[in-house]
Chains A and B, each alone.
Chain A
Amino acid sequence: MEKAVEAKIIESSDQKILSDASNVTKKSSLSWTHALWQSRIAYVFVAPTVLVILLLVIYPLIQGIWFSFTDMNQFNMGSRFTSPSYEFIGIRNYLDVFTGAGTAFYQVLRQSIIFTFTSVFFHILIGLGLALLLNQKLRGRTLFRTLLLVPWAVPSFVSAFSWRWLFNAEYGFFNLVLKKFGYTQIEWLSDPFWAMFAVIITNIWLGFPFMMVSFLGGLQSIPESLYEAAKVDGAGAIRRFFFITMPMLRSVTFTVMLLGIIWTFNLFHVIYLVTGGGPFGMTDILPTYTYMEAFQRWEFGMASTYGVIILSLLIVFTNIYSRMVKSSV
């Protein structure tokens, strides 16, 4: 008797917890409004965050898209005292960008792509390599792991400044060393090729620890038994790597590669702080170029257009990428 009551209580309380789940997923006789009412607690918990996101991300985003169809600039944007007087100009900004009229869009886009893919390629290569080394039973591997995470722990604006100092043409470490050994010094930050080289090196240094940690997590989730079974079957280290490690790391690799590409494509402060986009805009990438358009040339309409284009490129890329990943799995 007692047991039955207990069971009933458990059942009912279970229902209380899972009521939302079961009721909603069943979708049987329940009406839509009833489902919403059932989940009211959840909505109370979610509401503040969603509200902030709507107000501070989604609303500005829509406003940004709207600005991209206007000729807004510093003078007609209005202020607390004057009303705005910018005008809707249709797709003129977009036409200007795509025909390349008065903008360096295609050049900057090319530089963005070079910067992003080179950085991410080396992030993954170095990150994966170091993760494989650290995943072994080595003496002192915790120490090495801590040391290798330092670039991640240092505030990135400080790192950017320190690399700029290392690349300094007159007193920087690299040129002093070149001089000491009798080589010609390199104008790291004022030669277009070497400036791009410098920002990519800086960015690789900043980004490899994150990849290393992600791959380490992926490696540690591979069950040891797989390797043991393969050993019993006589598979050597190389074959174990290609037939167990690589396939098991697939999903982690795809995720971090996508994240890496998106983050690097949106990266602003590294280039801004190391070269400022110079020399002559030869290291500008889309985010820095957009920022300059907005807050140095004060063309908010045009800058919003670049912003919308960056976002569209990323969305298109993400879609193609995830479709490719899905079809290859």
Chain B
Amino acid sequence: MCSPIYIHAWSKVACECGVKERFLLEQKKKSVLLFNYIILLVFSFIALFPLAWILITALKKKEDVFSSSLNILSGNYSFENFVYVLTQNDGIFLIWLKNSFIIAILTALICVSLASGAAFAFSRFRFPGRKQGLYLFMLVQMFPGVILIIPLYYIIRSLGLLNSISGLILAYCASALPFSVIMLKGFFDTVPKSLEEAAVIDGLSQWGVFTRIMMPLALPGIAVTLFFAFITAWNEFMIAMTFMNEESQFTLPIGIQTFIHEYNTQWHLMSAAGILITLPALVVFIKLQPLIISGLTKGATKS
């Protein structure tokens, strides 16, 4: 703390500028700091506001929501919109929730188990076609969804898989696989090679290296990739809307649209449903946040 160099430097500063100037400098620093905080506060407010607003809407009675002054801010709070959303139409919301959950879980599991093999190969082997393969996975992510949805619709329709959960999972795997491979490769690249080398000396096969060394060591990365694949399926809207047209097969993004009608949108119910869908995702996201950020920044600096 009090190394001679520091003392020297400070005394030098103190000599060069007088007390008054130093005071001004500090004032300036303080005002810059204040300015930074104000900007951060403003943007945090903007980031939270839409969510806060639908939370308020969800907690209000219909007549407070549909009033042409800011009545929404006064009056009583209640959970009746949430109860209505969860129980209406024989609890169809819970069926949508179940559909969404099954589809997202299966997509994530299938996708990550396939992708981790490929990512392991791309990370640890040099083989003919490796570069082209990686390039392909990058390129595929660029494809517009709307060009693929027509042939996919055609294929799924001719297989008789419209309105079926497995058709949707197939389509979601296709969209989640490429980024999962790239992401997992990034995580596998960070696992040091020395451990596997030692294991290979002890007679472990490549499959053993993959399952017993790579997977456990890259577990955080696998968790993040699972999360992203899950979220991709959980949030997907266009394909589900096109493939599913029976109410009992809807996923949440489609189901929530039933509250919207051209001239009579049930905003209070919409908001309640929106909050119910958002909360779990938000909690998991905040829990996994450090991992997600480190995972992404690794990927970003690599590419």
Question: A interface vs B, CB < 8 Å?
Answer: 9-10, 13-14, 16-17, 20-21, 24-25, 32, 35-36, 38-39, 41-43, 45-46, 48-50, 52-53, 56-61, 63-64, 67, 77-80, 126, 129-130, 133-134, 136, 138, 144, 146-159, 161-163, 165-166, 168, 170-171, 173, 176-177, 179-180, 205, 209, 213-214, 216-218, 220-221, 252, 255-256, 262, 265-266, 268-269, 272-273, 286-287, 290-291, 294-295, 300, 303-304, 306-308, 310-311, 314-315, 318
Within 8 A of A (CB), among B137-188: 137, 140, 142-155, 157-158, 160, 170-171, 173-174, 177-178, 181
Q: Is the CB of B122 within 8 A of A46?
A: yes
- The answer, among A147, A170, A205, for a CB contact under 8 Å with B50, is A205
Q: Is the CB of B301 within 8 A of A165?
A: no
Q: Evaluate whether A39 and B125 lie within 8 angstroms (CB atoms) in the complex, with A53-B136, A214-B297 already known.
A: yes
Q: Is the CB of B127 within 8 A of A20?
A: yes
21 pairs, CB–CB < 8 Å, chain A vs chain B: A41-B206, A42-B127, A46-B133, A49-B118, A49-B177, A52-B174, A60-B152, A79-B157, A129-B39, A146-B286, A147-B48, A155-B277, A162-B50, A162-B53, A165-B271, A171-B65, A171-B67, A176-B69, A217-B301, A291-B238, A311-B144
Segment of B18-26, B75-83, B86-94, B193-201 engaged in the interface with chain A: B193-201
Q: Mark B234-245, 1 if CB is under 8 A from A, else 0.
A: 110110001000
Q: Is the CB of A155 within 8 A of B122?
A: no
Question: How many Å lie between the Cα of A273 and that of B173 in the bound state?
Answer: 24
- Nearest A residue to B209, CB-CB: A17
Q: Is the CB of B267 within 8 A of A57?
A: no
**B281 interface residue per 8 A CB criterion:** yes
- Nearest A residue to B40, CB-CB: A144
Q: Is the CB of A48 within 8 A of B117?
A: yes
Q: Is the CB of B68 within 8 A of A217?
A: no
- The answer, among A39, A43, A153, A221, for a CB contact under 8 Å with B282, is A153
Rounded to whole Å, the gap between the CB of B136 and the closest CB of chain A is: 7
Number of inter-chain CB pairs below 8 Å: 295
Best-buried of B65, B121, B136 by chain A (most CB within 10 Å): B121
Question: How many Å lie between the Cα of A36 and that of B151 in the bound state?
Answer: 33
Given contacts A24-B126, A57-B140, 11 further A-B contacts (CB under 8 A): A32-B128, A36-B127, A41-B125, A42-B125, A60-B152, A130-B43, A147-B48, A148-B44, A173-B53, A180-B69, A311-B142
Best-buried of B39, B66, B267 by chain A (most CB within 10 Å): B267
Question: How many Å lie between the Cα of A165 and that of B36 in the bound state?
Answer: 31
- Binding site secondary structure of chain B: helix
**B17 interface residue per 8 A CB criterion:** no
Q: Is the CB of A155 within 8 A of B117?
A: no
Rounded to whole Å, the gap between the CB of A1 and the closest CB of chain B is: 19
Q: Is the CB of B121 within 8 A of A57?
A: no
Rounded to whole Å, the gap between the CB of B175 and the closest CB of chain A is: 8
Q: Evaluate whether A64 and B147 lie within 8 angstroms (CB atoms) in the complex, with A13-B201, A56-B170, A255-B303 already known.
A: yes
- Nearest B residue to A265, CB-CB: B144
**B293 interface residue per 8 A CB criterion:** yes
- Nearest B residue to A185, CB-CB: B68
**B250 interface residue per 8 A CB criterion:** no
Q: Is the CB of B253 within 8 A of A266?
A: no
Question: How many Å lie between the Cα of A204 and that of B303 in the bound state?
Answer: 24
B114: chain A residues within 8 A (beta carbon)? 48-49, 52
- The answer, among B173, B201, B210, for a CB contact under 8 Å with A56, is B173
Q: Mark B241-260, 1 if CB is under 8 A from A, else 0.
A: 01000000000010010001
A46: chain B residues within 8 A (beta carbon)? 117-118, 121-122, 133
Q: Is the CB of A52 within 8 A of B173?
A: yes
The total of chain B residues at the interface (CB under 8 A) is 97
- Nearest B residue to A159, CB-CB: B50
**B225 interface residue per 8 A CB criterion:** no
Q: Is the CB of A179 within 8 A of B50?
A: no
Q: Is the CB of A307 within 8 A of B126?
A: no
**B51 interface residue per 8 A CB criterion:** yes
**B54 interface residue per 8 A CB criterion:** yes
Q: Evaluate whether A311 and B145 lie within 8 angstroms (CB atoms) in the complex, with A24-B127, A130-B40, A162-B271 already known.
A: no
Q: Is the CB of B128 within 8 A of A36?
A: yes
- The answer, among B44, B170, B293, for a CB contact under 8 Å with A144, is B44
Q: Is the CB of B147 within 8 A of A157?
A: no
Q: Is the CB of B197 within 8 A of A17?
A: yes
Rounded to whole Å, the gap between the CB of B139 and the closest CB of chain A is: 9
**B220 interface residue per 8 A CB criterion:** no
A268: chain B residues within 8 A (beta carbon)? 145-146, 237-238
Q: Is the CB of B47 within 8 A of A151?
A: yes
Question: How many Å lie between the Cα of A63 and that of B35 in the bound state?
Answer: 56
**B190 interface residue per 8 A CB criterion:** no
Question: How many Å lie between the Cα of A53 and that of B67 in the bound state?
Answer: 51
B152: chain A residues within 8 A (beta carbon)? 56, 60
B291: chain A residues within 8 A (beta carbon)? none
- Nearest B residue to A262, CB-CB: B142
Rounded to whole Å, the gap between the CB of A285 and the closest CB of chain B is: 11
Q: Evaluate whether A158 and B297 lie within 8 angstroms (CB atoms) in the complex, with A9-B201, A16-B200, A60-B151 already known.
A: no
